[in-house]
């Protein structure tokens, strides 16, 4: 089923999302790199799920075709959480199975670890995330983008392992079209630039390991990692799995940080198998 491209205004934020299928709601959230969007991250997986679920794939605020808004008080995550809550409320959705990758995977796990969740989660699939922060070298490549097509090119080797995707000029240009939308570069750059007066001479934010007690998670959780993920080492991914009671884990062979793009059939099958058990 081809997903429908839609917009909804909820709590003053215009959110773009893809909508396909019918049934229990499967919420899909993308990562946090320049050019990230629902259509690039999930389009190839949605057909595998839309025959059994209503699939909602959102562009988080600041990304894709959603409003370009930045919380300069350091509350961008809170803004995203509020955005998704408002969208689900506006669409009258009261329960979701959620799949997140990289940035959004961390958000989902942190939310599941809290006693009170902002979203009506029933199960969580977290892809491309470990117990510690992403490897510094890869993270620096993703954060260094000058707004040009060639400036985005180095990130392809960080996100993808398979040469068919890593060297795909069409995929690069599609990512660049999203990254070049008005306000996209500015909202992305604001995530890494901080006042030197408050954060030191470099004025850059630091990614720190999560402080959450993931042992408090009671929801069904599946962790997925591409075999050749350049951002998440296998050991820190396994350490995370060991901290979450009952967590299932799955490695997608031949894939990098984004197995849902490089190996959509394998990724979708792994998630479907997990959801069959979770429901």
Q: For the domain that residue 244 is a member of, what is the CATH number?
A: 3.40.50.1820
Of 51, 244, 39, the closest CA to residue 130 belongs to: 244
**pLDDT, tens only, 205-264:** 554 544 568 999 999 999 999 999 999 999 999 999 999 999 999 999 999 999 999 999
- Is 192 inside any structural domain? no
H-helix or E-strand containing 11?
A: none
- Is 17 inside any structural domain? yes
The 3-state DSSP composition of the chain as helix, strand, coil percent (nearest 5) reads: 40, 20, 40
Average pLDDT of the segment spanning 166-183: 97
- The pLDDT assigned to 74 comes to 61
- Is 199 inside any structural domain? no
Minimum mean pLDDT among 26-30, 42-46, 129-133, 168-172: which range? 129-133
Q: Does 117 score more than 80 pLDDT?
A: no
Q: What's the 3-state SS for 86-109?
A: HHHHHCCCCCEEEEEECHHHHHHH
Tokens 């803004």 correspond to what residue?
A: 79
Q: Which two tokens stand for residue 173?
A: 């240009």
Check if the beta carbon of residue 234 is closer than 8 Å to that of residue 135: no
| d(C-alpha 9, C-alpha 47), whole Å | 26
β-sheet with 96-101: strand ranges across: 4-10, 13-20, 54-58, 25-29, 96-101, 121-127, 221-226, 248-252
- Is 155 inside any structural domain? no
H-helix or E-strand containing 38?
A: helix 38-42
- Is 116 inside any structural domain? yes
Q: Does 199 score more than 70 pLDDT?
A: no
Find the farthest-apart pair of alpha carbons in the chain and give their distance in angstroms, rounded: 53
Minimum mean pLDDT among 114-118, 137-141, 238-242: which range? 114-118
- The pLDDT assigned to 198 comes to 57
- Is 16 inside any structural domain? yes
- The pLDDT assigned to 166 comes to 97
Average pLDDT of the segment spanning 99-119: 91
| d(C-alpha 58, C-alpha 66), whole Å | 9
Q: Does 87 score more than 90 pLDDT?
A: yes
Residues of the domain holding 269: 4-134+209-278
- Is 234 inside any structural domain? yes
Of 9, 210, 35, 252, the closest CA to residue 105 belongs to: 210
**pLDDT, tens only, 58-83:** 999 999 999 998 877 668 889 999 99
Q: pLDDT class for 194, splitting at 50, 70, 90?
A: low
Q: pLDDT class for 277, splitting at 50, 70, 90?
A: confident
- Is 242 inside any structural domain? yes
- The pLDDT assigned to 101 comes to 98
- Dihedral pair phi/psi, residue 264, rounded to 5°: -60, -40
Residue 245 half-sphere exposure toward CB, CA atoms < 13 A: 8
- The pLDDT assigned to 202 comes to 55
Q: Does 272 score more than 60 pLDDT?
A: yes
Average pLDDT of the segment spanning 157-162: 98
- The pLDDT assigned to 196 comes to 64
CA–CA distance from 5 to each of 16, 18, 59, 175, 263 (Å)? 7, 5, 11, 17, 23
- State the average pLDDT for the chain: 92
What is the tally of structural domains in the chain? 1
Minimum mean pLDDT among 43-57, 69-83, 152-166: which range? 69-83
């Amino acid at each position: 089923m081809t997903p429908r491209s839609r917009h909804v205004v909820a709590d003053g934020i215009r959110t773009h999302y893809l909508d396909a299928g019918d049934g229990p709601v499967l919420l899909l959230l993308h990562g946090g790199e320049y050019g990230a969007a629902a259509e690039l991250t999930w389009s190839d997986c949605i057909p595998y799920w839309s025959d059994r679920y209503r699939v909602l794939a959102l562009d988080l605020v600041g990304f894709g075709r959603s409003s370009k808004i930045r919380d300069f008080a350091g509350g961008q995550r809170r803004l995203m959480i509020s955005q998704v809550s408002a969208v689900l409320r506006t669409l009258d959705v009261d329960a979701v199975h959620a799949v997140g990758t990289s940035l959004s995977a961390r958000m989902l796990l942190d939310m599941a670890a809290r006693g009170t969740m902002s979203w009506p989660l029933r199960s969580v699939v977290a892809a491309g995330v470990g117990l510690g922060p992403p490897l510094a070298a890869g993270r620096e490549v993703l954060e260094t983008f000058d707004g040009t097509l060639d400036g985005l090119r180095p990130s392809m080797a960080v996100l993808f392992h398979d040469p068919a995707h890593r060297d795909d000029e069409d995929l690069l240009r599609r990512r660049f079209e999203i990254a070049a939308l008005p306000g996209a570069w500015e909202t992305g750059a604001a995530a890494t630039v901080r006042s030197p007066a408050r954060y030191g001479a470099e004025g850059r934010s630091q990614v720190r390991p999560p402080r959450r007690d993931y042992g408090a998670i009671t929801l069904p959780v599946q962790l997925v990692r591409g075999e050749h993920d350049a951002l998440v080492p296998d050991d820190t991914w396994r350490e995370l799995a060991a901290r979450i009671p009952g967590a299932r884990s799955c490695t997608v062979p031949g894939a990098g940080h984004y197995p849902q793009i490089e190996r959509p059939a394998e990724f979708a099958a792994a998630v479907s198998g997990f959801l069959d058990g979770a429901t």
